[in-house]
């Protein structure tokens, strides 16, 4: 085992502070990674504060972080896909059983025995897994992704969660070239949804409560912006959308967005509002509309997404911070005061 510096929370009400954790000695299938950047995902905050206690209680100390980009420092004897010096990424998953129906279908995120990057039982060391707010991590090679070398590593980190979360449902819907695609919400997820939908050739419409976001939406690739609190604008677009990506995690009226869909239109939820959303059956019946959900993506699809980003020069818009500002960043994230993702520069951990 190796000591590694990390930022951990000791309880649901504690701030993240400097800590020392253990990383395992690499097995023959493992890749040892020096972490360069780690994005801050809203799930990190939910987990640190034990806000998902009902279905995923947090074990403390908790080291979050599942948008990891780093440099390979060592590999086990059986590792073939990665070598020391490679720029690599680790997302929300670090292992699975490799044998169930989900794993056979390359959707390891739905494996009943998946090991998540943090707060998941650690089969090697006991306790729970520790995430990317750390100087190092050791991961099975089949969960380590190649990062195209021309991408900025700080901006590439959020691709590992926010990127795949929005790429996967867009790809799954089918060929969206020339289709009218709505993106509800322009935050960490939404801004990636806009970039991907635009890159796939859709006519992209951002649907937001905030008129102030219109200019930025267009800069990110939107063709049009609808202010959802304006009934006239909403009515003018009724029945015209092919697909809507709903990235909102706060309570909201999904029926208003169902009205925007045309025949056989689909809305996919990638945000996770705390309370159930009331759905009008009539809003679904007329037009044979569908509501679906999506959760990150499998490892093969995540690699496909990263390669696509490499070809199209796509990264997240990030504000790079030293890890000493992580608690302040959480408060700002709660106020949506970030464009559009924080990325922690892990070099800041070296001096501690």
Binding site residues, Zn ion, CB under 5 A: 41, 43, 96-97, 100, 103, 111, 161
Strands (E), the chain: 2-9, 16-23, 30-39, 68-75, 87-90, 93-95, 115-116, 136-140, 145-146, 180-184, 203-208, 224-227, 241-246, 261-269, 290-293, 318-322, 341-345
The DSSP code for 182 is E
Token pair, residue 25, equals: 């000695």
Side-chain-facing half-sphere of 196: CA atoms under 13 Å: 31
CB of 131 to Zn ion, least distance (A): 10
Counting Cβ atoms within 10 Å, is residue 4 exposed (0-12), middle (13-18) or buried (19+)? Answer: buried
In this structure, are residues 134 and 118 in contact, taking their beta carbons and an 8 Å threshold?
no
Residue 103, H or E segment: helix 101-104
Whichever of 97 and 352 has its CB closer to Zn ion, that residue is 97
Closest CB to Zn ion among 222 and 316? 316
At closest approach, how far in Å is the CB of 171 from Zn ion?
Answer: 18
Q: Least distance (Å) from Zn ion to the CB of residue 103?
A: 3
Using CA atoms, how far apart are residues 288 and 282, in angstroms rounded to an integer? 10
Q: Toward Zn ion, which CB reaches closer, 98 or 288?
A: 98
DSSP-derived secondary structure for 203-242: EEEEEES-GGGHHHHHHHT-SEEEETT-HHHHHHTTT-EE
CA–CA separation, 32 and 138 (whole Å): 4
CB of 113 to Zn ion, least distance (A): 6
Nearest to 68 by CA among 272, 249, 306: 306
Are 345 and 320 in contact by the 8 Å Cβ rule? The answer is yes
Minimum Å gap between C-beta 255 and Zn ion is: 27
Cα distances (angstroms) measured from residue 327 to each of 16, 308, 322, 337:
6, 33, 11, 14
Q: How far is the CB of 98 from Zn ion (least distance, A)?
A: 6
What is the closest distance, in whole angstroms, from the C-beta atom of residue 66 to Zn ion in the complex?
5
Helix or strand run (H / E) with residue 55? none
The CB-of-289 to Zn ion minimum distance in angstroms stands at 28
Tokens of residue 99, six digits: 């044998």
Least gap, CB of 64 to Zn ion (angstroms): 9
Is 192 or 267 the residue whose CB approaches Zn ion more closely? 192
């Amino acid at each position: 085992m190796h000591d590694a510096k990390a930022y951990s929370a000791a309880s649901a009400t504690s701030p993240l502070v400097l800590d020392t954790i253990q990383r395992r000695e690499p097995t023959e299938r493992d890749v040892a990674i020096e972490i360069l950047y780690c994005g801050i995902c809203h799930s990190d905050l939910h987990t640190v504060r034990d806000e998902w206690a009902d279905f995923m209680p947090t074990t403390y100390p908790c080291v979050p972080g599942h948008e990891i980009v780093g440099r390979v420092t060592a590999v086990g004897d059986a590792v073939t896909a990665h070598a020391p010096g490679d720029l690599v990424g680790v997302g929300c998953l670090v292992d699975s059983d490799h044998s169930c129906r989900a794993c056979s279908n390359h959707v390891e995120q739905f494996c009943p025995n998946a090991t998540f990057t943090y707060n998941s039982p650690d089969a090697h060391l006991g306790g729970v897994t520790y995430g990317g707010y750390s100087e190092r991590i050791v991961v099975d090679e089949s969960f380590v992704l190649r990062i195209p070398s021309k991408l900025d590593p700080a901006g590439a980190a959020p691709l590992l969660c926010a990127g795949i979360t929005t790429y996967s449902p867009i790809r799954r819907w089918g060929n969206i070239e020339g289709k009218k695609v709505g993106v509800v919400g322009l935050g960490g997820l939404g801004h990636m949804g806009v970039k991907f939908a635009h890159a796939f050739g859709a006519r992209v419409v951002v649907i937001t409560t905030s008129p102030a976001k219109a200019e930025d939406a267009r800069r990110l690739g939107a063709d049009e912006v609808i202010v959802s609190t304006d009934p006239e604008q909403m009515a003018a677009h009724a029945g015209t959308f092919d697909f809507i990506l709903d990235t909102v995690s706060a309570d909201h009226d999904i029926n208003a967005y169902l009205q925007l869909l045309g025949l056989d239109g689909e809305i996919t939820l990638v945000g996770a509002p705390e309370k159930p959303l009331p759905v009008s059956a009539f809003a679904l019946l007329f037009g044979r509309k569908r509501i679906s959900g999506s959760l990150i993506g499998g490892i093969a699809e995540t690699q496909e997404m990263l390669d696509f980003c490499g070809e199209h020069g796509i990264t997240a818009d990030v504000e790079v911070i030293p890890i000493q500002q992580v608690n302040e960043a959480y408060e700002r994230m709660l106020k949506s005061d970030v464009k559009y993702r924080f990325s922690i520069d892990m070099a800041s951990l070296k001096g501690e």
